[in-house]
Amino acid sequence: MIRSAVILAIACAIAAPSWAANPTVEQRVRSVTTGLRSAVEIRGAPPAKQSLQSRMAALHVPGVAIAVIKGGKIEWARGFGATRQGGEPVTADTLFQAGSVSKPVAAMAALAVVEDGRLSLDTDVNKTLKSWTLPASPFTATTPVTLRALLSHTAGTTVHGFAGYAAGAPVPTLPQVLSGTAPANSAPVVVDQAVGSAYRYSGGGYSIAQQMMVDATGQTFPAIVRDKVFAPIGMTRSTEDQPLDAARSAHAAWPHDSAGAVVEGGPHTYPEMAAAGLWTTANDLARFVIDLAKSANGETGHVLSPKTAREMLTPVKSDYGLGVSIQGATARKYFYHNGSNAGYKAVILAYPDTGDGVVVLTNGDQGYQLSEAIVRAVAVEYGWPDYHPVERPVVPLSAAEQAKFAGTFTLGGDDDFTIRRDGDRLVADIWKGVVDPLFPSSASSFFITAQDLTVSFSDPDHGVLTLRDYKGAFTRKPTK
């Protein structure tokens, strides 16, 4: 027994690097960039660690920028890959579109204007709006839409997100976007459910908030965010300018589709700046995260007062506060947001209590999977309580037993996904152009490993898709 213990101790000493108890920054960088993990690991199989380089190649993501925050400071920030094929190397100061990570920045700007006394969180938005008016609705007759409801996605407003405008296409004004009139490519923003009754993600609601800020201050939206957020924090490279000027565009990360091809014409233009218009860098976005976390933790001298920052990080409904999602499996909570524009994906996450966090920016349509794998590697390396891979068992299920679940299914509206046979197994195309193997966990349930997503059937034509906290019922689409 003693001999066995000695042998085990020697083996552990050999297996563990000498720096494990007190790693240097470079050692941490190496651990993260060689230790990417899947969201789900198969029970009984050894963890399959992958390198950042191999995952970038597999997911056709040309460039990524990462900033890791520890104790309220940027511990390291690096770029990997290139802005485009034959382009400049990505650095921590390379500009990327951040997609919906624009929303936390816009929310901070709006709350700063509230603290100035030029906006109210709880007043009917039509008392502020001048350039456009929110149409009356039976749902607003007794409970008006407010800025608080818009920022928390509880206003009952429509239009989930925006596609942007390809190079050369006419770009609408914001009132045209809100009204859904040409040349806007999105539907009108209206209220079609009870205000305050439920959380429903709405980029349209953030566009109303953008118009409110413009009408309340008389400034352009890029000027508001520059004055209220970028300048005080020191985000010197960030901008809400849409489109980006030629000088900065020449050095920015260029967008790529899921196959790694450059998005035709380059970056889309987003007049819906509060919802999707942010251009930023890993260093700048980390500074934003640090400023918000420090203020929420009680420090003064930041963009928002501690009281307002805590209000921003207080859930209204479904764990969403004013501009960020509040998550965490333990008493320690973190704020989070991801972003998705054409050819770009981004993630921010931070624990206000410790000032630890991470920022990831990518220029590929499969960058979300890459970003999440990077966050998991950081979480494991830095000992965070969340974002560790989960284990699931795989059960034997013959190809014939699996085949009855193949088909195209709808989650409602245009949210369709396809399950098809690939040899003796099933694969799922849930995000267009991204194909994931399906692993059976029972006779009627399957999971993928890239994300914590399960597909459970009640019968071959009906079931529930679960992705973290999201659950959606799906139905088989009839064949034509």
> Which residue would you say has higher pLDDT here, 450 or 60?
60
Q: Which of 18-22, 134-138, 411-415 has the lowest mean pLDDT?
A: 18-22
- pLDDT over 60 at 47, yes or no: yes
Whole-number Å distance between alpha carbons of 456 and 269:
38
Whole-number Å distance between alpha carbons of 461 and 477:
8
Longest dimension (CA), the chain: 81
Confidence of residue 14 (pLDDT cuts 50, 70, 90): very low
- pLDDT over 60 at 18, yes or no: no
pLDDT at residue 15, rounded to an integer: 35
> Which residue would you say has higher pLDDT here, 448 or 434?
448
Average pLDDT over residues 174-181: 98
DSSP, res 258: T
- pLDDT over 80 at 5, yes or no: no
- Sequence-ordered alpha helix ranges (H) in 155-235: 174-179, 203-217, 221-225, 231-233
pLDDT at residue 10, rounded to an integer: 29
pLDDT at residue 193, rounded to an integer: 95
Phi, psi dihedrals of residue 27, rounded to the nearest 5°: -70, -35
Confidence of residue 12 (pLDDT cuts 50, 70, 90): very low
Residue-wise pLDDT tens digits, 105-161:
999 999 999 999 999 999 999 999 999 999 999 999 999 999 999 999 999 999 999
Which residue, among 202, 201, 221, 224, has the nearest Cα to 211 in the 3D structure?
221
Average pLDDT over residues 409-418: 80
Q: What angle, rounded to 10 degrees, do the helices at 25-34 and 367-382 form?
A: 130
- pLDDT over 80 at 306, yes or no: yes
Average pLDDT over residues 16-35: 78
Q: What percentage of the chain exceeds 70 in pLDDT?
A: 94
Residue-wise pLDDT tens digits, 242-301:
999 999 999 999 999 999 999 999 999 999 999 999 999 999 999 999 999 999 999 999
Parse the chain into domains and list their residue ranges. 96-390, 393-476
Average pLDDT over residues 326-350: 96
pLDDT at residue 23, rounded to an integer: 87
Q: What's the token pair of residue 197?
A: 């009754």
Which residue, among 26, 56, 54, 31, has the nearest Cα to 371 in the 3D structure?
56
pLDDT at residue 1, rounded to an integer: 32
350 close to 360: Cβ distance less than 8 angstroms:
no
Predicted TM-score (pTM) above 0.75: yes
pLDDT at residue 6, rounded to an integer: 32
Whole-number Å distance between alpha carbons of 101 and 109:
13
Average pLDDT over residues 38-50: 90
Q: What percentage of the chain exceeds 90 in pLDDT?
A: 87
pLDDT at residue 20, rounded to an integer: 46
Residue-wise pLDDT tens digits, 209-232:
999 999 999 999 999 999 999 999
Identify the three-state secondary structure at position 276.
helix
pLDDT at residue 450, rounded to an integer: 87
Average pLDDT over residues 465-478: 88
Average pLDDT over residues 49-74: 97
- pLDDT over 80 at 469, yes or no: no
- pLDDT over 80 at 189, yes or no: yes
Torsion of CA 3, 8, 11, 13, to 10 degrees: -110
Confidence of residue 432 (pLDDT cuts 50, 70, 90): low
Whole-number Å distance between alpha carbons of 39 and 181:
42
* CATH domain 96-390 topology: Beta-lactamase (3.40.710)
Phi, psi dihedrals of residue 375, rounded to the nearest 5°: -60, -40
Q: Which of 251-265, 425-439, 442-456 has the lowest mean pLDDT?
A: 425-439
119 close to 202: Cβ distance less than 8 angstroms:
no
Cβ-in-10-Å burial (0-12, 13-18, 19+) of 45 comes to exposed
pLDDT at residue 21, rounded to an integer: 56
* CATH domain 393-476 topology: Lipocalin (2.40.128)
